[in-house]
Amino acid sequence: MIRRLGTGLAVLWAAATASYVALLLAPGDTVDILVGDGPDTPEIRARIVAEWGLDRPEIVQYVSYLWRLLHGDLGRSYQAQRGVGEILAGQVGPTAQLTLAAAGTGVVLAGVIALATAGRGRWARGAASAAELVAVSVPPFLIGIVLLSVFSFTLGWFPVSGAQGPRALVLPALALGLPIAGVLGQVLRGGLEQALEQPFAVTARARGLTERALVARHALRHALIPAVTLAGWFTGTLLGGAVITEILFGRPGLGQVAMQAVTGRDMPVVMAVVLLSAVVYVTISTLLDLAYRAIDPRIRT
């Protein structure tokens, strides 16, 4: 477990360093970006260099960047002239809402479909797996566009954009959650069906259990093992997909921030977003490791 935490920290350090290197390699001069459209004289340039410490050797800048990170200081945005931490703090909320809602939608849909169709007739399974295939193979932005044109433009049930109230959350959460439901549903159903064919399932039936109790007490736990592995993968999908979904639905959030920062070469913000994603990823995969141990007590390392 301590080793797990150590690896987590190493991943975070690697993410910080990689984004720092990316900043160094990025085309264009930092001072140009900082000057922007403002007055451009050698004196102003010299003042900017001194103020941001750009005259120091790169390695010193790197170490002082890491040092500030350790103290929770994410630096200042080149464009907004505000603390990066402050910018992100305002935008984390809507993104967290969106990703959690999408994850919840995905898990609930997958669970319902898998439980309803595992081991059933060919028709039900065929229909479910066709739907899953579509959800997996169509890119989320296209799902988003279809949802928008049907439910917002045509039917007018949900707002086209914004983040006001729960109604505005429904379509983005579906667009982001459906692909997850597709993959997870397939894996869960496969796991359930495999577990229901094992000899221990025969033993359990021979005790007089109903099929429903068999699924609840035995098979589901076995099916969860591959599903938890997948959960690690869809954390990444959610974070990446959130950017596109937020832009498509005009929602405020980290996606918008990241988009603006990338186009404006506002590297401190880009780096902070990368780092934040890494923190989320490491936290979730550590939690999943714990979940593994709870589900499958045979794992003891």
CA distances for 38 relative to 67, 232, 236, 265, 276, angstroms: 31, 45, 39, 16, 31
Instruction: Burial-class residue 253 by CB neighbours within 10 Å (0-12, 13-18, 19+).
Output: buried
**Site membership for other proteins, residue 57 (CB under 8 A):** no
Applying CB under 8 A, among 42, 59, 208, 301 the residue interacting with other proteins is 208
Applying CB under 8 A, among 3, 122, 212, 298 the residue interacting with other proteins is 298
**Measured distance CA(49)–CA(56) in Å, rounded:** 9
**Measured distance CA(126)–CA(122) in Å, rounded:** 6
Specify the stretch interacting with other proteins by CB under 8 A; choose among 107-115, 204-212, 275-283, 285-293. Answer: 204-212
Specify the stretch interacting with other proteins by CB under 8 A; choose among 105-113, 122-130, 177-185, 192-200. Answer: 192-200
The interface mask with other proteins, positions 213-252, x = CB under 8 A, is x---xx--xx------------------------------
**Site membership for other proteins, residue 4 (CB under 8 A):** no
Q: What is the phi/psi pair of residue 29, to 5°?
A: -100, 135
**Measured distance CA(152)–CA(150) in Å, rounded:** 6
Give the total residue count for the chain: 301
The interface mask with other proteins, positions 5-44, x = CB under 8 A, is ----------------------------------------
**Site membership for other proteins, residue 210 (CB under 8 A):** yes
In degrees to the nearest 10, what's the CA dihedral of 210, 211, 213, 216? 180
Of the pair 119, 159, the CB lying nearest other proteins is at: 119
Of the pair 42, 208, the CB lying nearest other proteins is at: 208
**Measured distance CA(239)–CA(225) in Å, rounded:** 23
**Measured distance CA(172)–CA(168) in Å, rounded:** 8
**Site membership for other proteins, residue 301 (CB under 8 A):** no
**Site membership for other proteins, residue 202 (CB under 8 A):** yes
* Binding stretches for other proteins (CB under 8 A): 119, 198-200, 202-210, 213, 217-218, 221-222, 295-298
